[in-house]
Amino acid sequence: HAGGSRKNRLTEEVITLPAGTYTVYFRTDGSHAYGDWNADAPPHPERWGITVYPLAPESGEHARTLPAVPLAPTPALQAKPFITLTHIGDDELVHKRFSLSRETPLRILALGEGDEDEMYDYAWIDNTRDGRRVWEMHYRDTRPAGGADKNRRLEQTIVLPPGEYAVFYRSDDSHSFGDWNASPPRQPDMWGITLSADDPGSIQVYRDDAAPEGQLCSLLRPGNDAHMKCNFDLTRPTPVRIDALGEGSDGEMYDYGWLEDRRSGEKIWEMTYDLTRPAGGASKNRSATFSFTLAPGSYTLHYVTDGSHTYRKWNS
């Protein structure tokens, strides 16, 4: 008890921290704070908050006379993020593409929702050349983000080789920026993911409407009950790669694509369930990557969806 009202509380603790960089937080609600008490104030109201003192190792006494040491900025603040996907609302799937010209360490700061070893609002990074997932925000790697227990925070540094990448962030239908159903995290504006690096010269970030070099067709962000098509012609044998994301379960696909010869109508490739793998999130989210060589000719790429679970209208 800190004196005054029974809800005034005091704690004094001694802890030992390993070498590192730390951030101290203090959070208040909407009432009963310094200068605006709604009950009896504590005897020392000027101390409302938190103070951290270093201890002199030889005596164990508070070393108040030690000179102040400026704190170095935390790694997340040393460089401005080159990708910022934050303020994520309900039922969103957002992404940003980027490329690396050389091996580059990337710092990741991500806030999301999860509990019991499962994430509901989370991020991942894919290699767009082969469709391989190179990083994902797993619950086991997160720590509490403040507020409700399900608010999770991840700060991590990864090293990626040269290549083409896309960072994604997906949210479910509740508890997101601006529409929390439990206490928000300490940094609600950071709900989502940011990427930063000390070597920005190796990074190129693509505009949302910029297609990667050499792309033949792109059928993205369909709605419910859609049938999208894209035609292209080849004048010589051409190696191609198809990357597809859709919906399927129990051996059957509901949102999927296929490629056909425009002249003969022959189906050359189809996104069947057996060719897919889990895409993250709900088990019915499926992804496929397929590479082969097409002969000279005219082709049509198709993508169809059923009446539910599509871009920004996810039902699980």
- Residue 125: predicted pLDDT: 93
CB 244 within 8 A of CB 256: yes
pLDDT per residue as tens digits for the range 88-107: 998 787 888 899 999 999 99
119 by Cβ neighbours in 10 Å (0-12 / 13-18 / 19+) ranks as buried
Provide the whole-model pTM: 0.55
Assess whether pLDDT exceeds 70 at residue 69. no
> How far, in Å, CA of 288 to CA of 259, rounded?
13
Q: In this predicted structure, which of 34-48, 174-188, 211-225, 269-283 has the lowest mean pLDDT?
A: 211-225
As a whole number of Å, the end-to-end CA separation of the chain is 46
Token pair 């937080």 is found at 25
Task: For the chain, give the percent of residues with pLDDT over 90.
Answer: 47
For residue 157, the model assigns a pLDDT of 93
d(CA 139, CA 119): 6
Print burial letters for 300-311: b (CB count within 10 Å at least 16), e (below 16): bbbbbbeeebbb
Q: Which of 143-157, 163-177, 206-220, 271-285 has the lowest average pLDDT?
A: 206-220
Q: For the structural domain made of 75-205, what CATH number should be given?
A: 2.60.120.380
Nearest one of 299, 254, 6, 282 to 118, comparing CA atoms: 282
How confident is the model over 255-293, as pLDDT tens digits?
A: 999 999 999 999 999 999 999 998 877 889 999 988 889
Mean pLDDT of 41-50: 86
Concatenated DSSP letters for 263-297? TT--EEEE--GGG-EE-SSSTTEEEEEEEEEEPSE
Mean pLDDT within 196-212: 78
- Where along the chain do its domains lie? 1-72, 75-205, 227-304
Asked if 98 and 165 touch (Cβ cutoff 8 Å), the reply is yes
Q: Is 58 helix (H, G, I), strand (E, B) or coil?
A: coil
Grouping H, G, I as helix, E, B as strand and the rest as coil, residue 45 is helix
Residue 112 has pLDDT above 70, yes or no: yes
